[in-house]
A and B are shown apart, each in its own frame.
Chain A
Amino acid sequence: MVTVTHAGRRTPKVAKTNSVVKKVVMAVSGIIMLLYLVAHVIGNLKVFAGRDSFNSYSEWIRTVGEPAVPHQTVLTIVRVVLIVAVVAHFWAAVSLWRQAKRARPQAYANKKSVAQSYASRTMRWGGVIVLLFIIWHILDLTVGTVNPDGTDSTPYDRLVASFQNPFITAFYVLALILLGMHLRHGIWSVTQTLGQSNRRRERTVNAFAVVFSTALTAGFLLVPFSVLFGLVD
Chain B
Amino acid sequence: MQSSVGDPGAGKRGMNLTLRIWRQKDPTVKGKMVTYKVTDISPDMSFLEMLDVLNEQLIMQGEDPVAFDHDCREGICGMCGVMINGEAHGPQQTTTCQLHMRSFKDGDKIDIEPWRASPFPVIKDLAVDRRAFDRIIQAGGYISVATGTAPEAHATPVPKKDSDAAFDAATCIGCGACVAACPNASSMLFTAAKVTHLGLMPQGQPERDDRVVNMVAQQDREGFGGCTNIGECSHACPKGISMETISRLNHDLLGALRAGARPKS
Contacts and interface: CB of A to CB of B under 8 A. Distances in A.
Interface of A: 1-4, 6-10, 12-15, 18-24, 96, 99-100, 102-117, 120-121, 123, 185, 188-189, 191-199, 202
B74 interface: no
A114 to B, nearest CB: 5
B118 A104 contact: yes
A193 B253 contact: no
Contacts of A99: 184, 225-226
B86 to A, nearest CB: 4
Nearest to A5: B27
A104 B83 CA distance: 14
Nearest to A188: B229
Interface in B171-185: 181, 183-185
A187 to B, nearest CB: 11
B86 A110 contact: yes
Contacts of A22: 226
B225 A104 contact: yes
A20 B216 contact: yes
B129 interface: yes
B69 interface: yes
Contacts of B186: 19, 100, 103
A116 B225 contact: no
A83 to B, nearest CB: 24
29 contacts: A2-B69, A2-B129, A4-B27, A7-B26, A8-B26, A8-B121, A9-B121, A15-B220, A19-B226, A21-B257, A23-B226, A96-B228, A100-B183, A100-B184, A100-B185, A103-B225, A104-B118, A106-B116, A109-B20, A109-B113, A110-B86, A110-B113, A115-B231, A116-B183, A120-B228, A194-B251, A195-B254, A198-B244, A202-B244
B250 A2 contact: no
Interface string B18-57: 0010100011100001000000000000000000000000
Query: Could you tell me the dominant secondary structure of chain B's interface residues?
Result: mixed
A2 B228 CA distance: 31
A111 B24 CA distance: 19
A23 B250 contact: yes
B106 interface: no
B100 interface: no
Interface residues of B, number: 63
A25 B236 CA distance: 28
A128 to B, nearest CB: 15
A115 B234 contact: yes
A116 B231 CA distance: 7
Given A1-B130, A19-B226, 17 more contacts: A7-B26, A14-B221, A18-B216, A20-B250, A24-B250, A99-B184, A100-B228, A102-B223, A103-B118, A103-B186, A108-B83, A120-B228, A123-B228, A192-B229, A192-B247, A195-B248, A196-B251
Q: Which residue, of A7, A15, A18, A104, has the highest number of chain B Cβ atoms within 10 A? A: A104
A105 B120 CA distance: 11
A100 B226 contact: yes
Given A116-B232, A202-B244, A15 B134 contact: no
B166 interface: no
B181 to A, nearest CB: 8
A213 to B, nearest CB: 15
A114 B236 contact: yes
B15 interface: no
B198 interface: no
Nearest to A189: B229
Given A20-B216, A108-B83, A110-B111, A116 B221 contact: no
Nearest to A19: B226
A102 B72 CA distance: 32
Contact of B250 (A6, A107, A121, A194): A194
Given A8-B28, A100-B185, A202-B243, A193 B217 contact: no
A108 B236 CA distance: 16
Given A2-B123, A195-B250, A108 B116 contact: yes
B124 to A, nearest CB: 8
A2 B81 CA distance: 13
Contacts of A196: 247, 251
B76 to A, nearest CB: 15
Contacts of B253: 18, 20, 195
Contacts of B230: 115-117, 120-121
